[in-house]
Amino acid sequence: MQFEISIEGPFRAISRLNGKLDSFSPVMKRIPMRGYENREKGRIIIVASSEDILDQELSVISGIVTETERALSLDPGFDIRVRNLAYSEPSAGSSQFAEPFNPIPSITIQPWGPELALTTDPKTIIIDPHHAFGTGKHPSTLLCLTIMNLIAKDTSQASNIKGCKVLDFGCGTGLLAIAAIKMGAETAMGVEIDAQAARAAKNNVGLNRLSQRVDIREGSWEVVNGKFDLVLANLVASVLLRTGKLIPGHLTPSGAAVISGFGENQARDMKSFFEEQGLTVTRQFTHKGWSAFTMNIK
């Protein structure tokens, strides 16, 4: 698996940071360039070709980034993101994402086409991914949908989806937030750090006529307020480890969290991490080498 670490910040600060990131192993590349969305911004992309290197390098890089932020009194600081390049999906308009399909029996995902009318059908979700992740084809998304469906059907659960407030942290196209409403949630909030993906999610919410019930916000935890009955987070392992600490604080006492996006081989570390944060792993699910957990507050 290859991982991409991307660091973005003011162009001058990025140039300074670039000078400090000289000593990395040859498996990593640095490509300083001007950000294409904001001319004032620069971006460094480093590719790590294995997960062992990723964890080690990420901690060194984070240290250098923090040191540079302090030296330059940067506020806000650099934005670091990690993307698992194995997380690729069929692109919008490709033959693999052209036909409606049923990731789970109760939901049909309909790829957007200009000939389509907007839908309020309780089973159908229209998705136009643009460049965002979340068509429903990836095993990590499929795991989330499968678990949500189980929770929705299990009336013995304190935190059933019906009437719930749901958070989709790292919402990509907004698919899980929209699916939550189709499964009976009252409202959903989708949070997405990538501006293009957040725009795609807002557009998808509109295509499904759910703007009154699904609130898409661009950003990360800083844009989240309140507590949720169900928190969904399908994120790469290293991002789950960096951002997962804040999940318990945003759960209602009887709430549940679903995390996905890590490999079966990472499940043990993931379980220890989340148990340290005060959560109990109630079930583990796996599909095609990917894993997901359901968790409650201890």
Which residues of the shown chain bind ligand SAM in the complex (CB under 6 A)?
81, 87, 132-134, 141, 144, 168, 170-172, 175-176, 191-194, 197, 220, 234-235, 239, 243, 261
Q: How far is the CB of 107 from ligand SAM (least distance, A)?
A: 13
Residue placing its CB nearer to ligand SAM in the complex, 14 or 237: 237
Q: How far is the CB of 86 from ligand SAM (least distance, A)?
A: 11
Q: How far is the CB of 79 from ligand SAM (least distance, A)?
A: 9
Burial 25-35 (b: 16+ CB within 10 A, else e): eeebeeebeee
**In whole angstroms, what is the distance from residue 94 CA to residue 89 CA?**
10
Strand stretches in the chain, DSSP E = 3-10, 33-34, 41-48, 79-84, 101-104, 107-111, 124-127, 165-169, 187-192, 214-218, 228-234, 251-263, 279-287, 290-297
Q: How far is the CB of 147 from ligand SAM (least distance, A)?
A: 11
**Token pair in block for residue 39:** 């001319």
Residue placing its CB nearer to ligand SAM in the complex, 20 or 93: 93
Residue placing its CB nearer to ligand SAM in the complex, 58 or 193: 193
SS3 76: coil
**In whole angstroms, what is the distance from residue 232 CA to residue 242 CA?**
16
Backbone dihedral angles phi then psi of residue 171, each to the nearest 5 degrees: -80, -10
Residue placing its CB nearer to ligand SAM in the complex, 170 or 248: 170
**In whole angstroms, what is the distance from residue 255 CA to residue 248 CA?**
9
Q: How far is the CB of 254 from ligand SAM (least distance, A)?
A: 23
Residue placing its CB nearer to ligand SAM in the complex, 26 or 147: 147
Quick one: DSSP state of residue 117? Answer: P
Q: How far is the CB of 204 from ligand SAM (least distance, A)?
A: 11
Residue placing its CB nearer to ligand SAM in the complex, 141 or 208: 141
